């Protein structure tokens, strides 16, 4: 029915599609791209955070490369490091960014990455991984490092600024890590009243 080259091609396409399902099951995050307006919100928040000239920015879960590309265009002197676990989005992003000299992509689990040289971090994930990611950023980031999360926020951290465009798109939140919320203890409450 199929000749050998068509069968091989079919198998490759099937395995790549299967890998999307497998990696979504492993990470718990679908490989959905941010839209251009959402990426523009992330860029605007990072501009507000005044990054150093040759900043190192980590895009955690860089997917098909949409946000990495927007960041690389907006910050041409910065190094944009995209980390993606899923092979198909990773290779597509490699292809899309092949002429962008300030983009560096790694196919890895970002929990296994050393982020200590980060000047900024961005992510667009899901609700479930946010607490684990917060703990990883607590271990890795220098105090005051800007972190921008698209759509899914860190519940117990203080948001410094928000960009929420019109329509149904997700809002982006900027944090200056670790962004702990000040605790209103009973003691301070009683002395203030
Ligand atoms: C919603 S997509 C966002 C893609 C991209 N950031 C964008 O805005 O266009 C999230 C991506 O994070 C990846 N991901 C989730 N957990 C990961 C992990 N621990 N390590 C590496 N990639 C991860 C998923 O495979 C998925 O492609």
Instruction: Please report, for the chain, the start and end positions of each structural domain, with discontinuous segments joined by +.
Output: 30-177
If one counts every other C-beta atom within 10 angstroms of the C-beta of residue 63, the result is: 24
β 172-177/161-163 pair status: antiparallel
pLDDT at 162: 96
pLDDT at 187 over 70: no
Determine phi and psi for 188, rounding to 5 degrees: -65, -30
* Cis amide bond preceding 144, omega within 30: no
Averaged confidence pLDDT in the chain:
93
Q: Tell me the average pLDDT across 149-165.
A: 94
Mutation to probe ligand 1, out of 84, 105, 172 (largest number of atoms < 8 A from CB): 84
CATH superfamily of 30-177: Vaccinia Virus protein VP39 (3.40.50.150)
Show Cβ contacts of residue 192 under 8 Å, excluding neighbours closer than 6 positions.
Answer: none
Comparing 5-9, 127-131, 162-166, the range with the smallest average pLDDT is 162-166
Round to whole Å and give the CA distance between 7 and 98: 29
pLDDT tens-digit readout, 112-148? 999 999 999 999 999 999 999 999 999 999 999 999 9
Supply the residue whose CA is at minimum distance from atom 8 of ligand 1: 34
pLDDT at 192: 53
Alpha carbon distances (Å) from 148 to 24, 96, 135, 173: 22, 23, 16, 5
Round to whole Å and give the CA distance between 125 and 147: 13
pLDDT at 11: 92
For the CA of 109, the nearest atom of ligand 1: 20
Q: Tell me the average pLDDT across 27-47.
A: 95
pLDDT at 167: 72
Mutation to probe ligand 1, out of 22, 27, 30, 70 (largest number of atoms < 8 A from CB): 27
pLDDT at 185 over 80: no
DSSP 8-state secondary structure symbol assigned to residue 166:
S
Round to whole Å and give the CA distance between 55 and 64: 22
Q: Which residue, 138, 164, 136, is CA-closest to 150?
A: 164
pLDDT at 186 over 90: no
More confident residue, 186 or 90: 90
- Does the pTM surpass 0.85? The reply is yes
Q: Tell me the average pLDDT across 172-191.
A: 78
E strand or H helix at 48: helix 36-48
In the numeric block, the tokens 């009243």 are attached to 193
E strand or H helix at 81: strand 79-84
pLDDT at 188 over 70: no
**Pocket residues for ligand 1 (CB within 6 Å)?**
23, 27, 29-34, 59, 61-63, 66-67, 83-86, 89, 109-111, 124-125
């Amino acid at each position: 029915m199929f000749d050998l080259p068509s069968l091989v091609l079919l198998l490759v396409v099937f395995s790549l599609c299967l890998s999307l399902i497998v990696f979504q099951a492993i990470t718990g995050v679908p490989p959905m791209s941010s839209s251009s307006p959402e990426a523009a919100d992330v860029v605007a928040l990072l501009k507000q955070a005044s990054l150093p000239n040759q900043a190192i920015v980590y895009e955690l879960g860089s997917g098909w490369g949409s946000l990495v590309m927007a960041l690389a265009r907006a910050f041409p002197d910065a190094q944009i490091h995209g980390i993606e676990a899923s092979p198909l989005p990773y290779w597509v992003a490699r292809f899309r960014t092949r002429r962008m000299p300030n983009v560096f992509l790694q196919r890895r689990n970002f929990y296994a990455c050393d982020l200590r040289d980060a000047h900024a971090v961005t992510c667009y994930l899901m609700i479930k991984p946010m607490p684990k990611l917060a703990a990883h950023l607590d271990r890795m980031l220098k105090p005051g490092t800007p972190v921008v999360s698209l759509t899914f926020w860190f519940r117990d951290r203080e948001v410094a600024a928000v960009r929420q465009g019109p329509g149904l798109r997700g809002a982006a939140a900027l944090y200056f890590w670790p962004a702990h919320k000040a605790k209103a203890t009973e003691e301070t409450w009683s002395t203030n009243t």
